[in-house]
Amino acid sequence: MYEKFRRVRYLAIAAGTLAVITALAGCGGSAAGPSGANTGERTIEFSLTGGTVPAQTQVIKDAIAAFEKANKGVTVKLTEVGWGDAYSQYQTRLTAGNPPDIALLAPSWVSTFMTDDAFASVDQYVNSAILDNTYKTGYDGMVGKDGTRYGVQWDASVWGMFYRTDLFAKAGLDPKAPPTTWEELQKDCAALAAAGIHPLAIPFNGTDPDDYFLPMMWQAGAEVVGTNGDVVLDSPQTLKAATFLSGLVKDKYLSSDVVGHDWEATMNTFIAGDAAIMFNGPWVVGSLQSGAPQLKGSWATAKYPEGPAGPATLGYPNGLVISKLSKNKDLAGEFINFLFQKGNPSYFFEFMKASGVFGFTKDFATTNDEFVRDPLNVPFIKSIPFARDRPVASWYEEFRQRTFDPGLQQLVLGTLTPEEFVKNAQKGAQQLAAAQKQ
């Protein structure tokens, strides 16, 4: 079943990597297959991507303890994987025929592995009430062509804008009126710059760039993939977005130094007052509250400024998937059901609060909880209806790593013009799309 998967992606595996695969083959309980395949034990492995927020891990540990107590003889093995390693480790374990029974993956990864028949349909193992209580847009990348769902929506990040109300006031801007359009953003940046305040910071380090450029593309009316599956990056709308980003740098509203800044470095720039506006993820709300108490009352959040084509932002839930190779798919489904339906509030909701992110469930926004009602969280939650996932294409993850993100960094550094960036992006995406059709 996985011969095409192995042949296309893993011909270059070296002896050292094979040693890693051999070691990983024992992680699921037996060298012959997934958890409990030979032992007869009711054991499943849950691979949790993250590892940087102890409170997240504790919620899952509490859920596992409660689930095991309620189901005698059942063991849930927790494996933690960092976001930077999760994609390659899942590739390796899938190739070895020993993926975890349940894994938390980014939606674009679900889309990639889904095309290789890696997952069981969650429609078969997870309560329909859970699956249907979520926004349809959250399933982008996790649904097959026939409508079958292969991932359960989990923690969701919705990107937005942070701004320093004190610096806005210093520049003569209304601290209660953040920019709502591209034009207003440029105007406010000009006012901030005139007051000697650096206007804008965006995380553009490593794999961050497309997180912040995709919203600009959508706001301009651009797409990566057309309705017929063709690459459509080479468009006037993409050029408009690239020109807008490049213009922010040329006008000195955005420093080219951002290519070395991840979300945390960007947040620190914001804390230091070296940027009055930043685009970042919702987890930064909690980080600012705990890490910069001296700024209390001096900052606020807002929705992404709208472009010529209207509002759009990046926002997607990561997905819980059940491996098709799992010998305990029913137990995996029971544990996922437990996460959503047990606890007070549910372990799902507690995980969202611990993470500082949101659920795409339809009842999340109406929950009478101080976390949901917090004015700093409200703009992100209100953005969910027009939040979009990364493009649903099996080649996209490789494209963003090889071409898109490096090209965006070059655009910000000024070593590529907007026209060159668009041309290179179109060519790189087309090559990968064509290669995967062969």
> 308 pLDDT band (50/70/90 cuts)?
very high
Q: What is the mean pLDDT of residues 396-410?
A: 95
Is the pLDDT confidence value at 140 over 60? yes
Amino acid letter, 392: V
Which long-range contacts does 289-298 make (Cβ < 8 Å, 24+ apart)?
289/376, 291/267, 295/164, 295/271, 297/165, 298/164, 298/165, 298/166
Is the pLDDT confidence value at 40 over 80? no
**CB 76 within 8 Å of CB 68:** yes
Amino acid letter, 62: D
Give me the pLDDT at residue 139, please: 78
Which long-range contacts does 221-230 make (Cβ < 8 Å, 24+ apart)?
221/307, 221/308, 221/309, 223/391, 224/391, 224/393, 224/396, 224/429, 225/391, 225/392, 225/393, 225/396, 229/393
In this structure, of 110-119, 133-142, 415-424, the range with the lowest mean pLDDT score is 133-142
303 vs 143, more confident: 303
Q: Give 154-172 pLDDT, tens digit per residue.
A: 988 899 999 999 999 999 9
Q: What is the mean pLDDT of residues 384-411?
A: 91
Give me the pLDDT at residue 30, please: 35
Mean pLDDT of the chain: 88
H-run or E-run covering 421? helix 418-437
75 vs 25, more confident: 75
Q: Which residues contact 74 (CB under 8 A, 6 or more apart)?
A: 42, 43, 44, 67, 68, 331
Q: What is the mean pLDDT of residues 113-123?
A: 93
Is the pLDDT confidence value at 35 over 60? no
Is the pLDDT confidence value at 392 over 50? yes
> 292 pLDDT band (50/70/90 cuts)?
very high
Sheet holding 200-201, edge to edge: 200-201, 277-280, 160-164, 299-302
| Coil vs helix vs strand at 436 | helix
- Give yes or no on whether 3-157+316-388 and 160-314+392-437 have one common fold: yes
Is the pLDDT confidence value at 364 over 70? yes
Crossing angle, helix 209-220 and helix 405-413, to 10 degrees? 80
**CB 76 within 8 Å of CB 67:** yes
Q: What is the mean pLDDT of residues 349-371?
A: 86
> 24 pLDDT band (50/70/90 cuts)?
very low
Give me the pLDDT at residue 334, please: 98
> 264 pLDDT band (50/70/90 cuts)?
very high
Query: What is the signed CA dihedral for 223, 226, 232, 233, rounded to 10 degrees?
Result: 20
Tokens 């859920």 found at: 63
Give me the pLDDT at residue 304, please: 96
Give me the pLDDT at residue 192, please: 98
Q: What is the mean pLDDT of residues 204-215?
A: 93
20 vs 242, more confident: 242
Give me the pLDDT at residue 366, please: 80
Q: Which DSSP letter does residue 391 get?
A: P
Give me the pLDDT at residue 52, please: 67
> 12 pLDDT band (50/70/90 cuts)?
very low
pTM of the model: 0.77
What percent of the chain has pLDDT above 90?
A: 69
Is the pLDDT confidence value at 6 over 50? no
- How does DSSP assign 206-261, residue by residue? TT-HHHHHHHHHHHHT--SB-TTS-B--SSHHHHHHHHHHHHHHHTTSB-GGGGG-
Q: Which DSSP letter does residue 400 get?
A: I
Domain locations along the chain: 3-157+316-388, 160-314+392-437
Give me the pLDDT at residue 11, please: 30
Give me the pLDDT at residue 51, please: 65
Is the pLDDT confidence value at 33 over 60? no
Give me the pLDDT at residue 361, please: 85
Task: Work out the end-to-end distance of the chain between its first and last CA atoms, rounded to an integer number of angstroms.
Answer: 17
Is the pLDDT confidence value at 211 over 50? yes
Q: What is the mean pLDDT of residues 21-45?
A: 51
Q: Give 233-263 pLDDT, tens digit per residue.
A: 999 999 999 999 999 999 999 999 999 999 9
Amino acid letter, 333: G
Q: What is the mean pLDDT of residues 142-163?
A: 91
Alpha helices in 279-357 (DSSP H): 283-291, 329-341, 347-355
Token pair belonging to 240: 């408009």
Q: Name the residue among 107, 161, 137, 134 with its Cα closest to residue 380.
A: 161
> 50 pLDDT band (50/70/90 cuts)?
confident
Distance CA 365, CA 47 (A): 28
Q: Which DSSP letter does residue 383 get?
A: T
Distance CA 295, CA 272 (A): 10
Sign of CA dihedral 414, 415, 418, 419: positive
Is the pLDDT confidence value at 269 over 90? yes
> 201 pLDDT band (50/70/90 cuts)?
very high
- Domain 160-314+392-437: which CATH number of 3.40.190.10, 3.40.50.170, 3.40.50.1170, 3.40.50.300: 3.40.190.10
**CB 241 within 8 Å of CB 306:** no
- How does DSSP assign 289-309, residue by residue? HHH-GGGTTSEEEEPPPBBTT
Sign of CA dihedral 119, 124, 127, 128: positive
3-157+316-388 adopts what CATH topology? Answer: D-Maltodextrin-Binding Protein; domain 2 (3.40.190)
Give me the pLDDT at residue 156, please: 85
